[in-house]
Structure 1
Amino acid sequence: KEKWLNISKEFEEVWNFNHCIGAIDGKHVVIQCPENAGSSYFNYKNSHSFVLLAVCDANYIFTFVDIGAYGRRSDGGIFRDSFLGQKFRTNEMNVPDPKPFYFEGNSMPYVLVGDEAFPLTEYLMRPFPGKQGLNQDKIIYNYRLSRARRTIENAFGILSSQWRILRRPINCSIETAMKIVQAIVCLHNYIRIQDIGVNEYITENMVDRDGCDGLIEGSWRRNIDINSAFQDIRRCSTNNSSRKAARIRDDFCEYFNSEGAIPWQFQHC
């Protein structure tokens, strides 16, 4: 629980999202057609892949990875059936108990943040759907969530930018490809921990950052080859959500537009 609280504190201080314990995203890892694999690894983009599902902290350090789901599972169930998803669903992750953001406020849970590909749950917040017709409060909530969620986008971008084996489909057995990805994640974390405050492995221009006129995209976005080993996942779960999960999102939205507002957020709605 102490580690979760430390991660949450960094997300609040750096990315202005309270009670965030990680940003989550998934990628298809494209591989050469494996022998005797049938259709298990054949995905909707007509290539062969397995799935890398990952959570990172506020400093682009991976905290959890789930490697190896079949690439054909492009829609629904990837997060739900992953080891990580199962542990969150059964409340086995030692996440701290909910507590208020401020005196006499509602008790708020600690949550992951993800994009539209993920479900809205009591432990995972996603944006309000649709770009048209959203009121100012919801636009601001989406902006605040996006700032925190971009940490995992940038973490994947750093991998594909710095580890050249990911610039192309990986040409080896499935088992070896999974070990390669696991090794890259471990090496990335090791180097990144040493790099905090030094900025040699991750330079300032490499990752997304806020500028006077809005978002300045990181250089990794311009350097990604169309044949990169990383491809986006369309949807990791169904769009069903509980009333309690929707109420929690509404509470986050209300807080970000009242006691938790930051001065510059109104420039982005």
Structure 2
Amino acid sequence: MTLDLFQEMVEKLTPHLMKQTTFMREPLEVGLKLAATLRFLATGNSYPRLQYSFRVEASTICKFLPEVCKAIIEVFRDEVLSCPKTEEEWKEVAELFSSRWSYHNCLGALDGKHIAMKKPPKAGSLCYNYKGFHSIVLMAVADAGYKFLYVDVGTEGGAPLSQSFCLLSCSCG
């Protein structure tokens, strides 16, 4: 990531993440929160490892990390995710697949993954998938230029596949 891109992200996220200074403490800088969150998302480092890298308590990291992720989604969703709504937009997606990859009449590359997790309390078999472990499903559709058209995360691992496709068809028009 370039420094310019990082600074642009900090600027756009500051109104959503900046905390007030109190007589008890100074708030963490938005840039520090963003850097720690991006490192976590890119590497999967544990909170204790991030604690030593950024000199912030693991208990503090576990509080701001979800806030930063939510802010990133809120601020950048429309800029990054744009599921086609009209027939003309879908034709553009198909044309890009055809011209770039010689893959005709394709409207997107679809893939998914079961994200392993601990069994949630009182979940029963909702999250227990056909692979034999508890999970949530990550599903995404990308265009021929590797841009995400649609992303869905959080469907229970035991849900039928048709449920994810229903979400896709309902969201993309």
Please tell me the TM-score bracket, short chain as reference: 0.3 to 0.5
**TM-score for both structures, normalised by structure 2:** 0.42
Larger fraction in helix: 2
Larger radius of gyration: 2
**TM-score for both structures, normalised by structure 1:** 0.29
